[in-house]
Structure 1
Amino acid sequence: MHLTFRQVNYFVAIAEAGSVSRAATRLNISQSTITESLRALEAETGATLFERSSKGVTLTYRGHQFLEHSRRILATVADAGRILRPGPEAVSGSLKLGVTSLVSGYFLADLLARFRRVFPDILVNVVEEDRDTIEDQLVRGELDVALMLVSNLVNQYDLQFETLARSRNHVWLRGGHPLLAQDHVELAALEKEPLIGLSIDEMPRSVETLWTCRLTKPAFSLITSSVEAVRSLVATGAGVAIMPDMTYRSWSLEADRVEARPIKGIESTIDVGMAWRRDAELSEPTQIFLQLCRESRSDQTLDRR
């Protein structure tokens, strides 16, 4: 099997854009070029990586698996270039990093692996806590920086933050659900469905905020701290869920199908970012980590559809 870096790069661009044409626009290349690259990649791997429709493309189960490896390939190549720059191996010290649960599961691993690859002499101590505790520890100087949801940051007077990615809320539905016939789902339609909630990172409060326009609150039939439990429950028809798109994958661990639809009239996002004390004198390891995060920033709103 002979895969090229360009094929991998184009594949990731299509997956993140949800459309061949949008990916071509972002990469500033012709649609025919990226289409031919994808066709050659699928022929070389012997796998169908996307399901095509008039609305765009969605990853297949094998496509999701390949995407995880492809992102690691791109990150590793970028890090190889960084390692060749003069002096990074000379940087040493420590970094006290705070992280909240949801961000830990979807952003921390890759960033931490990249940081440790390039700066092996910087000792990173990671603390996972709820938002209130993380904010308090940042203010008191017990943490240097935190990766967390910054869209619900409370202490914006003492803390400075930057957004790394914005993730829209979508409705998760089992394969074959009648609501999949709609391009956008009305909140009113969800009031008749068992609603499954995610308890971590104040997600119930974020979901409740969506209902303010209806002067009511969502009726959760089940709340769990596990994203995979939400995915499996939705996939097997136990209910529907409103989840940030950064957590979406179209297959449960049991290989049951999960579909996602945008919510009509709802454009709010859940924002992931980094936060630190506003008046802090940032150490060199902290500055380096912030810069690495900025280089990994997604300039587009995360949207799988």
Structure 2
Amino acid sequence: MMTLRQIRHFIAVAETGSISAAAQAVFISQSTLTLAIQQLEEEIGVTLFSRHAKGMTLTHQGHQFLRQAHLILATVENAKRSLQQGAEQVAGQLVIGVTSLVAGYYLADLLTRFQRAYPNVDLRVMEDERPYIEHLLVSGEIDIGVLILSNLEDRHALQTEVLTHSPYRLWLPAQHPLLEHDNINLADVACEPLIQLNVDEMGSNAQRIWSRIGLQPKVSLRTASTEAVRSLVAAGLGVSIQPDMTYRPWSLEGDIIEARPIADLTHTLDVGLAWRRGTARPSLVDPFLSVAREQPHPGRRPSI
């Protein structure tokens, strides 16, 4: 697929007449630039340059493509300016409700991208428990929620869209015996001291997982702090089942935390957006949705 980067590189070579001069102009290596030109020629199926000892000159088809290349870049720049001018005219206040786990691991990037795209929108964020965020959404007191959708109750009143499905993995300390297993199952985990995260209804999620297979884990400690879970696991005081979005390979103390899939646990933690169904939604919700959808999230699916 032809890219804007390839087109810019082609123009640089066309204007300088050599790979070495063009590489200096666009600050990339000569080999990378040569490969980009070769891929572009393969993509469009024509030879754009005549190669010779003194450099590179455009073929007849290369001259034709150069005119089109300048038009393509000009069109893109015009589109960018048009969108930026439109974004600057979008103003007002957007009230966002979030739950705590989402606020800690998902929200910052989303808000940063939205504020960059719509700098004149005033963002107000309210963090609370999922049932209260649902209540505020249904009553129209907040505009949109960014939360864990797995436990959503009032699905008739709310429209939702999953942005990411975060699989669960088992956190273990370095050199734990389970790291030697080719496959780890929930039955293996049930024999280990388990550190349970009790925030954002994670305890309820865990209870459903264990009830589904009829096993009772040995919970040695419950905490509302993900960092505490990280430190306790790294110190060898237990293992923990956590959504992948919260994983970091080190504890605050600098100890290693290993993460492994659990073969018979296919359940995911679904994070996404929720807004009031049926009524005309606030005008700033659509721009927020568009920014949220720009980020590639595996397995995203709408719920109607």
* Fold shared, TM-score > 0.5 on shorter chain: yes
Aligned residue in 1 for 2:177: 178
Taking a change above 3 Å as real, the CA distance of residues 150 and 213 of structure 1, as seen in their structure-2 partners, is closer
Counterparts of 1:250-265 in structure 2, within 5 Å, are 250-265=249-264
**Greater C-alpha radius of gyration:** 2
Aligned residue in 2 for 1:269: 268
AA matched with 2:241: I
Taking a change above 3 Å as real, the CA distance of residues 219 and 297 of structure 1, as seen in their structure-2 partners, is same
Aligned residue in 2 for 1:146: 145
AA matched with 2:211: T
2:191·2:217 contact (CA, 8 Å) conserved in 1?
Answer: no
Taking a change above 3 Å as real, the CA distance of residues 196 and 122 of structure 1, as seen in their structure-2 partners, is same
Aligned residue in 2 for 1:45: none
Percent identity of equivalent pairs = 48
1:183·1:261 contact (CA, 8 Å) conserved in 2?
Answer: no
Give unmatched runs, 5+ long, in structure 2.
6-31, 33-79
Aligned residue in 1 for 2:29: none
1:232·1:254 contact (CA, 8 Å) conserved in 2?
Answer: yes
1:208·1:218 contact (CA, 8 Å) conserved in 2?
Answer: no
Q: Deviations over 1:90-111 (max 9, x none)?
A: 1111111000001001111111
AA matched with 1:261: R
Give unmatched runs, 5+ long, in structure 1.
1-5, 7-32, 34-80
AA matched with 1:146: G
Output the CA distance in 1 between the equivalents of 2:177 and 2:169. 16
Output the CA distance in 2 between the equivalents of 1:104 and 1:130. 11
2:99·2:130 contact (CA, 8 Å) conserved in 1?
Answer: yes
2:249·2:257 contact (CA, 8 Å) conserved in 1?
Answer: yes
Offset, 1:183: 3.2
2:171·2:241 contact (CA, 8 Å) conserved in 1?
Answer: yes
Aligned residue in 2 for 1:29: none
1:145·1:274 contact (CA, 8 Å) conserved in 2?
Answer: yes
AA matched with 1:284: S
Offset, 1:265: 1.5
Aligned residue in 1 for 2:84: 85
Counterparts of 1:21-36 in structure 2, within 5 Å, are none
AA matched with 2:270: D
Q: TM-score, normalised by structure 1?
A: 0.69
Aligned residue in 1 for 2:10: none
Aligned residue in 2 for 1:12: none
Output the CA distance in 2 between the equivalents of 1:270 and 1:279. 26
Structure 1 outlier segments of 4+, above 4 Å: 81-84
Aligned residue in 2 for 1:231: 230
Output the CA distance in 2 between the equivalents of 1:217 and 1:235. 23
Q: TM-score, normalised by structure 2?
A: 0.70
Offset, 1:300: 4.5
Offset, 1:178: 0.3
1:82·1:118 contact (CA, 8 Å) conserved in 2?
Answer: no
- The aligned length equals 224
